[in-house]
Structure 1
Amino acid sequence: MTSRVLLLSPAMSASLRQARFDDGGSIDGSGAARARSAAGTLPSAVRVLTSPGVRCRETAAALGLDGLQVPELAGLDVGRWRGRTLEEVGAAEPEAVDRWLTDPECAPHGGESVRDLCGRVARWLAEAQEWEGRTVAVVEPEVVRGAVVHALGMPAAVFWRLDVPPLTVTELSGRAGRWNLRLGCPLAAAEAD
């Protein structure tokens, strides 16, 4: 049995444009329009899931998907940095940001470490590998990074070196305890802009 998991990153939002730690804001008008233009382009799925985050739920809705929220697919908990820009945090706490970006065990913001997030996503993927058929999951970019780190058996230190553009699909297909990976496929209609 082969399980297929399509991880779809959310549409553009003001937070993404400003390099702001997720503040629970909505996708912006252009992001919503791009998602609506791609509605119907994803292959059919046995199950549709979303991160609990607002932008993931809104992206799913704009794509015409009715997904079940899964807490294990939540974005990285950045604690007290939530809502602040990377520039603001870097100016106020440069050493903490440097440690956070280079040490996957570090969580100076009081939230979750990159290693913890990667472990959470790996546990979810172990469960997903037992599912028959295709799963579409609209998830935050850091969940996609965590899945790629796990699927390829890479060290968590490479996490921040993986770019995940908005409205791209990363496909995992797995069986027998192993995943194959297809990276960053843009949704067909979203390319028309």
Structure 2
Amino acid sequence: MTSRVTLITPAMSRSLRQARFGGGADGDAIDDSAAARARSAAGSLPRAARVRVSPSARCRQTAAALGLDGADAAELSGLDVGRWTGRTLDEVGVVEPEAVGRWLADPTCAPHGGESVQDLCGRVARWLDALPPDGRTLAVVEPEVVRAAVVHVLGLPAPAFWRLDAPPLAATELSGRAGRWNLRLGQALPTSSSPSSPPPPPDTAAKL
């Protein structure tokens, strides 16, 4: 039996626009215009046997705008960046340039005191491989979770994580049988006002 998974990235928020780690105290809410776009796509999603959500404000709000009632999944949390949470990559680069350089170059490195990119990829891989094959799983997840999933299903080396973009409010389709996966990347969610599904905004937080 084939497992089918649809991963949806959150709508645009201030933290995504600013490339801010973890959103910070007040920057994680999705934009009003982005929420409206998500609401207009609410009826376009495939039927799912189960719905899961990354435990962040922007993912919960996106799921609600899409009309989804999903359970938080801790294993789908965004990358834990420890003491860098709430700061932008530029801010961290000014005060800890060597640490940022090591982090970007070595997927096993976690100079911020959180988890490494390799740890994230392993966590997401375990979640995918444990999914039941009965029906579709639909999940609203952080962009880095989508990238980690793609690394796993294509058997890519961990450094490829930084070469993948996951734009806001886009769907990535996975299907697999006995550990062999197929991938359909980054489909824009159709909306009632835009039946031709124009491209979503660029992934301004592609490196978070």
Q: Please give the range of the TM-score, normalised by the shorter of the 2 chains.
A: over 0.9
Q: Which has the higher helix share?
A: 1
* 1:112-155 alpha-carbon deviations (Å, 9 max, x no partner): 10000000000001111x33111100000010011000000001
* TM-score, normalisation: structure 1: 0.96
**Shift in Å at residue 167 of structure 1?**
0.5
Q: Which residue of 2 aligns with 1:10?
A: 10
Residue 183, structure 1, aligned to residue 185, structure 2: yes
Q: Which amino acid counterpart does residue 76 of structure 2 have in structure 1?
A: L
Root-mean-square deviation (CA, aligned residues, Å) is 1.3
Comparing 22-31 with 64-73, greater Cα deviation is found at 22-31
Q: Which amino acid counterpart does residue 17 of structure 1 have in structure 2?
A: R
- What are the equivalent positions in structure 2 for 1:1-193 lying under 5 Å apart? 1-23=1-23, 25-128=28-131, 130-189=132-191, 191=197
**Shift in Å at residue 187 of structure 1?**
0.2
* CA–CA separation in structure 1 for the residues paired with 2:154 and 2:101: 25
Q: Which amino acid counterpart does residue 178 of structure 1 have in structure 2?
A: R
Q: Which amino acid counterpart does residue 162 of structure 1 have in structure 2?
A: L
Q: Which amino acid counterpart does residue 4 of structure 1 have in structure 2?
A: R
* CA–CA separation in structure 1 for the residues paired with 2:133 and 2:94: 45
Q: Unmatched 5+ residue regions in structure 2?
A: 201-208
Q: Unmatched 5+ residue regions in structure 1?
A: none
* CA–CA separation in structure 2 for the residues paired with 1:144 and 1:97: 22
Q: Which runs of 4+ in 1 moved over 6 A?
A: none
How many residue pairs get aligned? The number is 192
* CA–CA separation in structure 2 for the residues paired with 1:98 and 1:135: 36
* TM-score, normalisation: structure 2: 0.89
**Shift in Å at residue 53 of structure 1?**
1.1
